[in-house]
Structure 1
């Protein structure tokens, strides 16, 4: 049974609800006899520093916020024996969908965090960024950017609303890929490199993806008209898109993505630096509670 926790909280996540969520959960953890320290991050780099310091003390580390915070906290724990627990309190919370913990009741959730086993899981490395969920380049990345800029609800549906808005003026991209050392060219709408199945607020982009298989899943949506893209986006909610014409999904270990026009890639809902990006798997690099 775990005795000592540090919770790294993004105070802005969920319009401030992450702090309230963690305060409630911390109270239930303390009621069971655990020691809990709550630390508020000033940004992703600071979250990584807080997590690394907690790992150095031998604490179990909780990430209370969205998927971006979970990846930043994981960066401070990757390669160590420290365990990570995910407390979803952001907009998308896609990683939590791959980790079946009972989160509806705080007392039951607290008990699970103390008692459920952890397992080693893979992470993706996008340049120097640790990614637990996925990296995307294309229509979905543009929708993520729009969801961050527009006044949209702080709920998963915001990503779908943003995608619909971006689609009206979207045009296909030429991608130059190097997949496990082999160059490829693709004309299409998006490239996703997934470590876990969900992204974009409950879209099952890579239904075959597993957190612990030592692989990433490369999903591509080829060139097609808007009238075909709309049903593809709808099918993503069920993971049924991968059997549709123009879409491919396959396991890989490493890919480099370059595009024919400036386009920012997103990793776990956070922007990556401009330019080509290389994403590779780092197997069994992180211990995740409930995985």
Structure 2
């Protein structure tokens, strides 16, 4: 009898995480799976629970929540061979999007775990910490840092207001990049490092990035005016921004990104101030897809 350990962020998606768990569990039971349901009181406890769960070697560690909960699951199962299952209940769900998994649909997501097969994909690693989607290290990271300091409003509107607050002070940033050992200095509006293609709920900033090619996609968007940035933003949803003359893309196995005063964010989580070094870890994850 297969076994799934289900770790949930019940507050994800304004309570959608708890609802999806209750929708999904009967599907597992009906298919003959045993389940153990866990909820951490905070992120640190949830990570401890995830690591302990992975050590039990279940048939799947299933995370129910948004990209933050998926990122937590990555830390627990990367390199262990324990497959990760995803019940995508968040606002962005970018890692689930990159795998074409059901979004905000508990029964369908559970069915994908039950009837799917494990796919081997790469992860990106900063020090000892993994991410699956995109490391933001420019204007987008500045917005994220401001939004994290705001207590109101909740959800996507907080990031919209943070963007509006940062636009008037938009300025080019000076970067030192080391791309597979080759140093380059550049002025840019943003630099993003992608293991997958999107962040922010489907913004395909690293359009063309593949999860199983053993490479990172480093995107540099050279200086844009406020008007150009606003005009280009909608193109991120379909990847058509790649034709912009200020866009460039590099495919590397390892990159170091340095810029004064910038904090890097990956999978929506704070990874720390630059400089940061990112390396591709081929085949690090088994995911039920």
Q: What TM-score range do you get, normalising by the shorter chain?
A: over 0.9
Give the 3 Å change call, closer, same or farther, for CA 274–109 of structure 1 in structure 2: closer
- Inter-partner Cα distance in structure 1 for 2:287 and 2:16: 23
| Alpha-carbon distance in structure 1 between the residues aligned to 2:78 and 2:227 | 43
Matched residue SS, 1:101: coil
Alignment-derived partner of residue 154 in structure 1 = 155
In the alignment, the residues of structure 1 paired with residue 287 and residue 119 of structure 2 have an alpha-carbon distance, to the nearest angstrom, of 6
Unpaired runs of 5+ in structure 1?
A: none
Separation of aligned partners in 2, 1:162 and 1:184: 30
- 1:14-62 per-residue CA deviation (whole Å, 9 max, x = no partner) reads 2332122112211222122211111112344433332222222221111
Give 1:78-117 correspondences, 5 Å limit.
Answer: 78-103=78-103, 105-117=105-117
Change (3 A) 1:287 1:214: same
CA contact (8 A) 1:119 1:288 kept: yes
TM-score, with length taken from structure 1? 0.92
The Cα shift of 1:106 comes to 3.4
Q: Mean alpha-carbon deviation: is it higher for 101-110 or for 127-136?
A: 101-110
Contact 2:94 2:198 in 1 (8 A): yes
Structure-to-structure mapping, 1:156-175, within 5 angstroms: 159-160=159-160, 162-175=162-175
The separation in 2 between residues aligned to 1:201 and 1:282, in whole angstroms, is 24
Q: Which residue of 2 aligns with 1:18?
A: 17
Say how many residue pairs are matched.
287
Q: Match of 2:144, SS?
A: helix
CA distance in 2, matches of 1:220, 1:159: 22
Superposed CA deviations along residues 52-85 of structure 1, whole A, max 9, x for unmatched, are 2222222111111121221111111111110001
- RMSD of aligned alpha carbons: 1.9
- 2:220 maps to 220
For residues 223-234 of structure 1, the aligned pairs below 5 Å read 223-234=223-234
Question: Which residue of structure 2 lines up, in the alignment, with residue 255 of structure 1?
Answer: 255
3-state DSSP of counterpart to 1:273? strand
- Is residue 186 from structure 1 mapped to residue 186 from structure 2 by the alignment? yes
